[in-house]
Amino acid sequence: MADQIKVAYWPGCVSRGFTPELHGSMALVAEKLGWELVELDRANCCGAGVIAEHNQELADTLNARTFALAQQTGLSMMNICSTCQGAQSECQQRLDADSAYRAHVNEALSGQGLSYERSEDGSWTNKNFLWLLVEDYGLDKLAAQVKRPLTGLRVGPFYGCYIVRPKERLGYGEHPDRDIYLEKVIEALGGEIVEYDGARKCCGFPVITMNRETSLRQAGTHVGDAIDAGADCLVTPCPLCHLNLDMQQPEAAKVVNRDLGLAVLHLPQLVGLALGADPKELGMSKHIASTRWVEERLTSGVAA
Amino acid sequence: MAEYTIKVRRFQPESGEGPYWEQFEVDLDPSLSVLDGLLQAKDNEDGSLAVRCSCRAAICGSCGMKVNGQSTLGCKTQIGEAQEQADKMKAATGVTAAEADSPIRGEGSDLPTAGNPIVIEPMGNMPVIKDLITDMESTHWTKIRRVTPWLLPHGEPPEREYIVDPESMIDITQSMACIQCGACVSSCLSMEADPGFIGPAALAKAYRFVGDPRDAETQERLHDLAEDPHGIYDCTHCFSCVDACPKGVAPMDQIMRLRRRAGEEGIEDPNSGHDHEIAFVKIIEKKGTLDESLLLQESFAPGVKGKLKPSKRAIKEMLGSIPTAIRGIKTGKMRSLPKLIPGVHHKLPGGAQDDVQAIYKHAETHNEEFNLYIKGEEGELAEEPDIEKGAERSTSPDNAEAK
C-alpha cells in the first residue's frame, strides 16, 4: 500500500456535465482522505466505445494522448467512471500488445511532444477510484477514517458493465475480487449489503438514444429489483449508469409501470457520507431521485 | 478428490409443477468439470436429471448452462474453480448466485454441505424444456436463420472451389470459431429487456458473411441489419457475450464491426445509431470533451441548425426529453448555459483542442484496426491463436459452418 496517494486525475466528461455532483464530491473526499489529485484538464474524452466503433485507431490515439499526459506528470492515473475505465483499458490493451502499433500511434502524438510508454513492470496504472481505494489505499485504512458509520443503511451495489467485463482485459487475473469491491467498501463503511439481480448488469444507458424502451426497461428493472430486495439506495462508480438510474428514473418508472423512487449515490458520495461530510456538500440535492430517506436514516440515530 | 454440493434448478414439465432447486453431493477431482459433476449426480442419484452434452471437450457446444449465474459451457468450467467462485460470492454478498426462491429438495438440503453450493441453472433468454435443457430453436436458431447464414455469391459458380486470398479471410476467423452453444444468447442483457433483439450469436454469424470476400450481397445484409430496429443498434455494449463465449468469438466486437461497416456505407437507421455515432465523433473533434446536450440534439436531428429538418421520431424523442431536462434544471444538475444550450460547451484549454484535431487528421488517413484475436500479444508467443488459426486454415472455411 502506498503511504500517500497522489495520482493524475481524469474526471471524465459526464462528471463535469450532467453529474457535476460527482466531480465535486470526489474533490471533497480526496481532501478528507488526504489524496492529492493532479487534474488532467487538457485531456480528452475516452470515446466511451463509440469512437472506437467509428474508427478504432482514432480512439486508441485519443486515449494514448490522455495516458501520455498522465505519464508526463510521473504519476499513475485515476478515473471516476466505469465507462472511462472500460474504454481506456480496451485501448491500453491494444497499445500494450504490440510495439509496432504503439509506435504508429505515438507518431501521431510526437508533434505534441507526447508519447505513451508501456509500463513493463506494471508500475504505471489507470485505475478507477474504486480499485485505488481497495488496492492502493486499503480497506482497513478506509474503515479507520469512518466518522459516521453507515449502520443500518441498506446499500445495493451497481458496478456498470465496463468495470466488470471483460474480465481478461480488466486485470481480473491479478485482482480477481474486483467484482466484489463495492460490497467490500460498503462493509468497510459500516453499511449493509443488499444483494439483488442487477448489481452487475447493464443500466441501459448506451442505447438511451437508440432504443429508449429497452434502455429504460433495463434501468427500471434494476431499480425495482433493488427496492424489492429492501435497498435504501444504490451506489455506483459510473456516472453514465447514474444518468439512467437516477436522472431517467421517473421515465424508467413509466416503462416498467411501477413506482420507483430510490436514491442512487455516486461512490465518492457514499464514502463522503461515512467520512462525515454533509449531504449538501456532496451535491446530493442535485439528484433527481430524492436522497432524503438516506439522509434521514443516517441522521435519525439509527447510525448511533 | 473433493466433495462438492451442486444446486441444480430443475423443471419437469410432465409433473405439472413449477421449477425447483435440488442439491446433490458429488465427489470428484477439482480439475474435472461441472458437467462431470452433473453426470455423476445423474449416474449415482437421479437418472432423470436432464442435461444435454456430447463431446465434453468444448467442441460440440451442447452443454450451455449458467454456473453461479455465469453463462458458459458445463464441460469447460472446472468444478474446483466454480467452487471458488461460489465461495467468493457467498463471502462477499452473503447469498449464493441464485436466491432460494423455490423449495430445495434432495438429501443434500438437510446435510451440512461440502462448501457453498455451486449453483447450476439452464441458459437464460430461452424457454426451458426440462431441467438444464433449453429450447434452442425458438430463440437461437430462429435468430440465426434471420441473418441468412449462408454465402450469397453472384455469377456462375467456379468450376472448382472459390479461390480467395488467404489474408482476406483472416478477418472473419474469429466469428467462424462459433460453435453455436448459445452461451452468448443466454447472457445477453439487451435481449433480456428486448426479446426481439437479433442478438449476439446471430449478429456474429452475420459478420462472418459480411466480412467474407466471396459474398456479393454485403450491402443488402448491412442495410437489413441496420434498418431492423432490433438489429445492430439494439446492442447495449455490455460485454456479457464477450465473457460468456467459450471460443473467444467476442460477438459484441463483431457487432461493432457491423456498425462500422454500416456507417461506412452511410446507412441511415431508424434507431439513429449512425447519427449518434457521427455526432459523438464530431463533438469530440470540436470540443475535446462531451457536450451532452449537443449530442442529444445531433443524435436525433443532425444538422438541425442548418437545412435538414428533424424527423417525426426526432421531434418525439426531443419532446420526450423535456421533462428530464426540466427536472435537471430544478435540482441544479443542468442549471448552466453550457449544459442547457447545445453547442455552448467549452473547448479544451491552451491549444489542446488543436492537438486533438491533429489526432483526428492522422487517424482518419489510416483508420487501422488492431485485432488482438488475430495478432496476439507480442512476446507472449501466440501459441494458442496460432494453432487455432492453423486449424482454421487447414480446413475449408465452410467446414466451420457445418454445425
Query: Tell me, what's the pLDDT at B341?
Result: 85
Query: Tell me, what's the pLDDT at A2?
Result: 53
A181/chain B closest Cα distance in angstroms = 9
A138 Rama class: left (phi>0) / alpha (psi -120 to 50) / beta:
left
**Grid coordinates standing for B68?**
453461479
Q: Check residue B400 and report its DSSP letter.
A: G
Alpha carbon distance A197, A194 (integer Å): 10
A215 CB near a chain B CB, below 8 Å? yes
- Secondary structure in 3-state letters for B353-375: HHHHHHHHHHHHHHCCCCCHHHH
pTM above 0.90, yes or no: yes
Nearest-CB residue to A248 (from B263, B272, B324): B324
Nearest-CB residue to A193 (from B93, B277, B378): B93
Nearest-CB residue to B280 (from A51, A207, A288): A51
Contact, A147 vs A274, CB < 8 A?
Answer: yes
Contact, B349 vs A43, CB < 8 A?
Answer: no
Enumerate the residues of chain A whose CB falls inside 8 A of the CB of residue B368.
56-57, 101, 104
Enumerate the residues of chain A whose CB falls inside 8 A of the CB of residue B367.
55-58
Model confidence at A107, pLDDT cuts 50, 70, 90, reads very high
Contact, A54 vs A283, CB < 8 A?
Answer: no
Note whether A18 contacts B367, CB cutoff 8 Å. no
B227 CB near a chain A CB, below 8 Å? no
**Residue carrying the nine cell digits 453499511:** A191
Alpha carbon distance B288, A46 (integer Å): 10
The one-letter code for the residue type at A249 is: Q
> Shortest CA distance to B246 belongs to which of B192, B187, B172?
B187
Enumerate the residues of chain A whose CB falls inside 8 A of the CB of residue B339.
17-18
Mutate to test the interface with B, among A15, A46, A50, A92 (most CBs of B within 10 A): A50
Query: Tell me, what's the pLDDT at A171?
Result: 96
Contact, B113 vs B5, CB < 8 A?
Answer: yes
> Shortest CA distance to B117 belongs to which of B80, B87, B75?
B87
Long-range contacts of B19-22 (CB under 8 A, 24+ apart): B19/B102, B19/B128, B20/B102, B20/B103, B20/B104, B20/B105, B21/B98, B21/B100, B21/B102, B21/B103, B21/B104, B21/B105, B22/B46, B22/B104, B22/B105, B22/B106, B22/B108, B22/B109
* Least confident span in A95-99, A177-181, B108-112: B108-112
Note whether A209 contacts B317, CB cutoff 8 Å. yes
Mutate to test the interface with B, among A41, A45, A139 (most CBs of B within 10 A): A45
Q: How many residues does chain A have?
A: 304
Model confidence at A304, pLDDT cuts 50, 70, 90, reads very low
Query: Tell me, what's the pLDDT at B104?
Result: 59
pLDDT, tens digit (0-9, with 9 covering 90-100), for A7-43: 999 999 999 999 999 999 999 999 999 999 999 999 9
Largest pairwise CA distance in chain A: 61
Contact, A186 vs A264, CB < 8 A?
Answer: no
Mutate to test the interface with A, among B72, B191, B225, B238 (most CBs of A within 10 A): B238
Mean pLDDT calculated for residue range B323-352: 88
Q: Read out DSSP for B141-176?
A: IHHHHHT--S----SSPPSSPPP--HHHHHTTHHHH
**Per-residue b or e along B99-119, where b marks 16 or more CB atoms closer than 10 Å to that residue's CB:** eeeeeeebebbeeebbebbbb
Instruction: Count other Cβ atoms within 10 Å, centred on residue A297.
Output: 18
Note whether B280 contacts A213, CB cutoff 8 Å. no
Nearest-CB residue to A55 (from B243, B288, B364): B364
pLDDT, tens digit (0-9, with 9 covering 90-100), for A169-182: 999 999 999 999 99
C-alpha distances out from residue A64 to A43, A44, B291, B374, Å: 10, 10, 21, 22
B260 CB near a chain A CB, below 8 Å? yes
Nearest-CB residue to A165 (from B240, B348, B375): B240
* A 16-35 residues with CB < 8 A to B: 16-21
Enumerate the residues of chain B whose CB falls inside 8 A of the CB of residue A45.
284, 288-290
C-alpha distances out from residue A89 to A175, B32, B122, B204, B348, Å: 15, 33, 32, 23, 23
Query: Tell me, what's the pLDDT at B399?
Result: 42
Query: Tell me, what's the pLDDT at B380?
Result: 62
**Grid coordinates standing for A101?**
502499433
A118 CB near a chain B CB, below 8 Å? no
Instruction: Count other Cβ atoms within 10 Å, centred on residue A110.
Output: 10
B278/chain A closest Cα distance in angstroms = 8
* B 103-122 residues with CB < 8 A to A: none
Alpha carbon distance B348, A40 (integer Å): 11
- How open is the CA angle A95-A81-B258, to the nearest 5 degrees? 55
- Write the CB contacts of B287 (distance below 8 Å, at least 6 apart in sequence): B345, B346, B347, B348, B353
Model confidence at B392, pLDDT cuts 50, 70, 90, reads very low
